[in-house]
Chain A
């Protein structure tokens, strides 16, 4: 494994909190990655933003673990020296142009050539909003990913996460619920609080984030409209403690852990009828529910056998079945987008690591070598898992490629990052 480290400095809008930008650290694996070249984009027009699209696309593709993308000094003008790329064992070369059509619209032209046959593999022209070049680069990354692999990419997406400052204010740390692009850029603070924030979860339409806050000196679940300047809404006061929100894919229901009379069970809250439906009734701890992508099941954590294990409830039949059988501690399940796997936290000896469970075969694969992983979550294309872990006694986020285990780390210079969640595709 080759260790490439680069700190990314970027200007974000002045209104955003600028005290803790994410840094990126890639533990690169070239194993089984697609060697390609992304040439610098030709920019035609008068652009306000200084954005290197080809660079963003290269970084995206490299971080997915699927590609080994390099730059070139070759431009679209002039003939393509295919022999040169063949000699350097490149399989494909990508060219692009951004042409400003009006004050509102840019056209992006994209050309992908197969180096061996010297034929175009993919040519397309797409329209994008002017003034959003970074977003354009992410969308084009998805286009290239699909053209070359036949699979959707996860680049035009967002993360949510929680940062915690080391500095104390009146003896309290500052917690921030933030969102960013999938590459950690474009960071924006959604909630700032002197009380812990936990478990942010994007709604399927990406307009809302549900999260747990201790601002009332107890855990409560709040829903914040991410892109509106409205106050977070607290879910109605339930008896006992509310936590662990998970959206139903329909966006109208949310699963919660409620502690009524001290018994922690999973309930379904309907935003329209404002009614609760109890999903588990066991006297043990039932928590950390996660909806399957079709909304027909929930996976959850329970200590009903005396051990902490993951269970799945079929919401139609009502049947609950145990999902994990390996080890004495399996928790915090998250469904893969195809619904076939669960990412979860598995204890190995004294260490807590991210593992992948094939639900049907019960095969469990441990993915990391860390000591204290938490909160795994799939990228919307299922190709990567983001989770939080500790590096040198500091909380960081880590994204692992399921293709070749390549890892991308996101960290703050000062303070901790934790509780990641990945949005669905951007609209």
Chain B
């Protein structure tokens, strides 16, 4: 049981602290910071899928007015640490994937840098590349563990025997495509070397994690690197780890005679340089008794990793916790390909890994002749099978109950294809949503009395557009029992106390817990009226309940889908998400997070697909005209609501994290609704018109 904070400012709608600055353009992003005499950098990328650079002719580029240097593996500064092959750029002529950084042009203006980059001639020794993800490859392997430290495989009970004996079964293969994060603000870095070390203005989800990654690369102590990020225009995981462009900017700054270097990654370059979500091939087997109780669940996934750096998406992890069953098997197998390095994308593992099983559950409901909500309710569990621990709270059934009423679930057409309105077939679908409560220890907050009841609150957290500036001030206000206006928050700088990354939906929980503990320390040491300058500094308090309980957020996703009778065009006029995510700190920013997640889920369901060309080895639809995300006209009525969930085991604020759960389950709900509309079961995303052609 944690010492819960009494919500006063928390739970109240509050306008974003940074709203005015953002809409007036006053908020500075990574590329905006004014520096003196900046050098501009343009990336050179490999145009082969695998091999070696044999020569680089930069004579034409170097001759252009305004070009300072063309950086290549032949003249780049040596890096000190080869542990991360993604970041160890320009240290050899080897090319590991198409689009890899093989050089850069430093010039007086971004235009000249870009022009010069276009005239650099590169010759290669080409080797055959392989970017073909198939489940029948003979080089699939089991990684030692999958992302976030989960076990690669699990096997409980006797799945095969239970499956063979079951009267109701589903055995299908599902596929999700390669997807790319595409935050609105492209990645950008401004790097400056001085006698004291390196300063980076970076578009990142974690200033301290960038520092920890970049410092050893250049043989620096962490205190010689400063990373600053007051405002970030979205990340969705692609800014959660430091990618190679940051190393490149720092390298370039090292050879620019002390001048700062600015690097803005282009949208096209983002498709190969800042991570992506692997495609997945998921075989799902479900077995149930006549009443729909699951007797066996198997979820076996094949996905890719880059050859030079392993990233194993934890795709089956949600299957280990979501429903009760005595027999369960999950596994991950990786195909090592000559692809850019995959990484986190909003709800890694949980999001793609929800799609197969939640469509399979819909198929099982059909096989069993049950309402898909009723089937899910029958397989509810109080215990997390992955850990054997009871859930600290699990309010999933209430989410379904509330959602079913609000969405008109009982009025849905239950025979697929039976409702046609104005030439469109109409159907409703649901899916369960879930996301773990990740614990990320280590964040430190500092609270200082500034006199007259005002307090400075310092923590190196980052606001990636989620509302951190606003929500942390609300938490600090309640922790100190003062008005929000009395809080002077500072975030987004490694000169502030250490903070963990804005990832895994853990930010507010991790940073807020530290702020609460620092405030309590200030109060316990200095009382209600601390003298000006009095400090409290602390990490979050230990929470023994994390050993006693499994902690997860849950939700119910509802979707209405229309499929055109003639053309198969698919539209989603309504979505409803009902979430059980602990306490809500700020309803306004929370709704924005949840609706945003659902919108991204809609986009995943209907649109997103990076086409990795086997012959060329790269994503060929690498811009926002050709890599479709939902346009405004695709996004109709999306509503996110939440249940009042009081969970005393989580943290002093009682929050579970809301950044990612909104995307989880949205695609499955839409796919299930499309089946209800048409009778056609599509098991591969995205759900495009051609798949529903009559």
A and B: real partners? no
